[in-house]
Structure formats: C-alpha cells, structure tokens
Amino acid sequence: MTVRHFLRDDDLTPSEQKQVLELGLAFREDRHVRQPLSGPRAVAFITDKPTLRTQVSFATGIAELGGFPLMVDGNLAQIGVRESIADTTHVLDRMVSAIVWRTFGDDRIQEMAAASRVPVVNALTDGFHPCQILADLLTVAQHRGGVTALPGQAFAYVGDCANNMAHSYLLGGATAGLHVRVAGPQGYLPDAAIVARARAIAEETGGSVTVTDDPVEAVTGADAVATDTWVSMGAEAQAAERSRPFVPFQLDAGLLAHARADAIVLHCLPAYRGKEITADVIDGPQSVVFDEAENRLHAQKALLTWLLEQR
C-alpha cells in the first residue's frame, strides 16, 4: 500500500496540484461538497509551535469533512523526547486517518512520514509552509479567473527569502507555472538547492524563477505581491538586528506602485504594520489577506480529501 504525504510543495506534481486547487475552489462554493471523513474518522493535529490560523482552519476543515479533529499539544506530547518519533507514529496511525504536524526541523516530519501508514501533512516546518502556499495559489486563482489562469501569472515575494515561506513560494509557484520572483537582502536569500529544484520544475511548467536583492525588480509588473514577517518564530530575540537589512524591502505604496494597477496583495499573517508592510497597503483595496486566510480552510480540506483518496 502506497501512502502519499505532503511534506513540501513539490510532493504534488503540477497536475496533482491542479486537482487539489480545483477541489479547493469547489469547497469555496459548497463547504460540504465532499465528506471523506464521515463516520467520524479522526485526524491528529499536533502543534509544537504557536498557532491560530493553522489550528482553526485544520480543526474546522476536519469537522466539515465529517471527521473528528484530535488536537495534540506537542509540548505535552514531547514527540522525539519521551519516545521516538517512529514509536509515536506507530501509536497514532492505528487510531487516526491522517496526521497533521506543525513542528521545527524538516527531519522530524520526514521521520514521521517514513514510519506512518496514514498520510502525514506538513502544517509548517523550519524549511517549508506548503499548506499556506496552496491557500495563496487558491487566492490568486480566485481573483484571476480560476486555476487554469495561474500559469504565466507574475508572483513577487519581498522580504526574508531564507525562510520557509520563500522556499515554498519557489517550489509551489513553479509547480503552478507562475513566474516567481523573490527579493531579499544579501544574507537572506533562499537555499541554492531549493532554487535549483524550483527552476527545474519551472522548465516543465513554463514558469520561471528569479532571485534578486532588488525589490523593485521583483515587483515590477507583478500580478500578485506577497510579503511575510521579518522575524520568524524562534528568532524574536534578534528582532532589532534582523529588521535593519529588510527596511528597503518594506511593502509600502511606493513599492506596490511598480506592480500592475490591479495587482493583489497577500500576507500569510500575523502582520506587523509599519514593519514588513504598511497599514495603507494591508488595509487597502488591493489587499486580499482575509480571503487568503479563509482559503487555508478550503485548500487544506481539498488536500486532505485528495490524500485520503490516493490510498
């Protein structure tokens, strides 16, 4: 029996990603169009990190799929501390239909997936945030004419390009056939191996990948512009030192003016107004950040449904 997992964005082929996004749009139209967890069947949601949108969207989504969201506090479970990750997985996969984990190192979730007999979903790791990018692609599709309109769209991301969001934008965007442009200061650019992988995918899908330290180059003519916090979870103690290099990459009205006049603005939230994005931009008419937040629900329901149907 082959079990499909979703640990990073390129775990879905372009055609598979398209199937998931099409199903996500269907869930936007009818939140109960499919209920693969009806019974109910349980899905474990484990979080080792603070969360709001991820926890609420997965818990709500699992319930709307007819299932039971089993919420597990990672700080109490101490996975990999009290017992091995593999032993924990062997216990869980006898009771639940899927496992969703928000954790730290990618090696942890890879170890769980290797041991699991049920799908394992990455709800955020240090390296990737693939469920967020599914929601972002769904948001672009929602505002740009559907999933078939995604190939060829220009998508710009400015800010910390050495983080999980940038890595997932590169892989997920290339898979969708986007022209992905990421811009960050020197010292905060993406992992070279991820860039190479994204470029290889883009060659197949007709997309492209640009990495630059010039935010204007990234944003010029873009159909969608995104940013993220300059200080990721776990780096709060270095907030002042880390923020200085990012000041020229703030998404303000001046930078946004280089994009298309009807470009949409995304931010995965929480946002720090006056830091990585100004209030007039995130609260302005081009912002779709709350559609983007809602689309976590629809995209993740589509992903779970698709994964469960692969068995």
Segment 231-244, tens digit of pLDDT: 876 666 677 777 88
Q: In this structure, are 25 and 117 located in the same domain?
A: yes
Structural domain boundaries enclosing 265: 132-292
- pLDDT for 2 equals 85
Q: In this structure, are 56 and 200 located in the same domain?
A: no
pLDDT above 80 (res 219) = yes
Q: Confirm whether 8 is domain-assigned.
A: no
Q: In this structure, are 170 and 64 located in the same domain?
A: no
Question: Catalytic site residues?
Answer: 102, 129, 132, 228, 268, 296
Q: Which residues does 296 contact at the CB level (< 8 Å), separation at least 6?
A: 53, 54, 57, 131, 132, 135
pLDDT above 90 (res 311) = no
Residue 270, CA distances (Å) to 53, 102, 194, 277, 279 in order: 9, 16, 25, 11, 13
Q: In this structure, are 124 and 161 located in the same domain?
A: no
Q: In this structure, are 184 and 231 located in the same domain?
A: yes
Domain count, the chain: 2
pTM: 0.96
Q: In this structure, are 156 and 123 located in the same domain?
A: no
Q: What percentage of the chain exceeds 90 in pLDDT?
A: 93
- pLDDT for 241 equals 73
Q: In this structure, are 304 and 177 located in the same domain?
A: no
Q: In this structure, are 105 and 56 located in the same domain?
A: yes
- pLDDT for 181 equals 98
What's the rounded mean pLDDT across residues 76-88? 94
Q: What is the mean pLDDT of the chain?
A: 96
Confidence class for position 88, pLDDT limits 50, 70, 90? very high
